[in-house]
Amino acid sequence: MTDNRKIDPTTGTETTGHSWDGIEELNTPLPRWWLWTFYATVVWGVIYTILYPAWPMVSGATTGLLGYSTRGEVAAEIARVELSNADLTESLVTVDLGVLAENEPLHRFAVQAGRSVFAAHCSQCHGAGAGGVKASGYPNLLDDDWLWGGTMQEIAHTVRHGIRNEEDPEARFSQMPPFDWMEPEELDATVHYVRSLSDLPHDAAAAGQGAALYVDNCSSCHGSEGLGDREIGAPNLADAIWLRGDSYADILAQLKAPRMGVMPPWQARLGEAEVRAVSAYVHGLGGGEAAVGEAAATSAD
């Protein structure tokens, strides 16, 4: 075949010597630029495998002269984020909660961190969406009706020490006494009076009799108009939001055998940064109140 090579007269290019039915193939050389690019990629490939991890070995791969690894890069990235978070966490622990909301980046950091704290530690009682569980007396944290207080400081206090638990001496505490000593008519009258406070259907005559019983037995905690008392976590009885239900049977049950909510303290379990973060999160759910004046600020801890 080599014998058949010749110069094609039309193009001046050598042929390969192949000939099919008189049709011959030109041996056109590869373009220069293409060849050089090809050689460059080969050289690049060799250099790359020397500098970077490349050749698979029995255990692992060659590490390359630069010592680069994607794993190392991730570790460095995590360290960087943690370092910047360390600053934020530090600031969160020391900031005055009354003005946290004004510090936009710190507040955002707190709320985001608080969201995962809530999902991990609070949602089993208060519900994933913080809507509460009425049947168990776990309050809704989305509304602006607060048993113990809705400023960020008050919420943090509740979270830190908990409610009616035996572990923390500073836990919020109060107790509604049972009224099982009342005569059935007295209980009936009191329930009707309580329902009249929030305009629920009631027997007006019975409610009239219940008014005096209420003043004697209930107003010291729930207030003369039923507005409640946050000092002792006594619910507002004159609004549409109920911790334990607004039906006749619910209220009667609460009078005969008061159920008391218990919440564990979180200070030791979470630490101050997470307590503050989750408080900022709860505060931001919709019902958070602004700290007003000295009173709110001093009741912080």
Q: Closest CB to ligand HEC among 273 and 278?
A: 278
Bridge partner list, 289: 151
Give dist(CA 134, CA 287) in Å, integer.
18
Q: Does 190 bind ligand HEC (CB under 6 A)?
A: yes
Question: Hey, what amino acid is at 110?
Answer: A
Under 8 Å CB-to-CB from 259, ≥6 apart: which residues?
137, 244, 253
CA 120 to chain centre: 8
Q: Closest CB to ligand HEC among 106 and 278?
A: 278
CB of 95 to ligand HEC, least distance (A): 18
Among 237, 277, 280, 296, binds ligand HEC (CB under 6 A): 237
Q: Does 115 bind ligand HEC (CB under 6 A)?
A: no
Count the residues of the shown chain that bind ligand HEC, applying the rule CB under 6 A: 50
Q: Closest CB to ligand HEC among 109 and 222?
A: 222
Q: Closest CB to ligand HEC among 109 and 179?
A: 179
Under 8 Å CB-to-CB from 283, ≥6 apart: which residues?
101, 150, 151, 152, 155
Q: Does 260 bind ligand HEC (CB under 6 A)?
A: yes
Q: Does 146 bind ligand HEC (CB under 6 A)?
A: yes
Among 97, 159, 171, 189, binds ligand HEC (CB under 6 A): 159
Within 48-87, the residues that bind ligand HEC by CB under 6 A are none
Q: Closest CB to ligand HEC among 106 and 234?
A: 234
- Residue 291, judged by CB atoms within 10 A of its CB (0-12, 13-18, 19+), counts as buried
Q: Does 265 bind ligand HEC (CB under 6 A)?
A: no
- Known binding residues: 122, 125-126, 176, 218, 221-222, 263
x/- contact string, 125-144, with ligand HEC (CB under 6 A)?
A: xx----------xxx-x---
Q: Does 243 bind ligand HEC (CB under 6 A)?
A: yes
Q: Does 266 bind ligand HEC (CB under 6 A)?
A: yes
Give dist(CA 56, CA 252) in Å, integer.
76
Q: Given the structure tokens 């009682």, which residue do they identify?
A: 125
Both tokens assigned to 13 = 């290019």
Q: Which of 296, 184, 256 is nearest to 288 (CA)?
A: 296
The strand pair at 23-26 and 15-20 is best described as: antiparallel
Q: Does 299 bind ligand HEC (CB under 6 A)?
A: no
Q: Is 26 left (phi over 0), alpha (psi -120 to 50) or beta?
A: beta
Q: Rg for the chain (alpha carbons), in Å? A: 38
Interacting residue ranges for ligand HEC, rule: CB under 6 A: 118, 121-122, 124-126, 137-139, 141, 146-149, 155, 158-159, 163, 174, 176-177, 179, 190, 194, 217-218, 220-222, 232-235, 237, 242-245, 251, 254-255, 259-264, 266, 278, 282
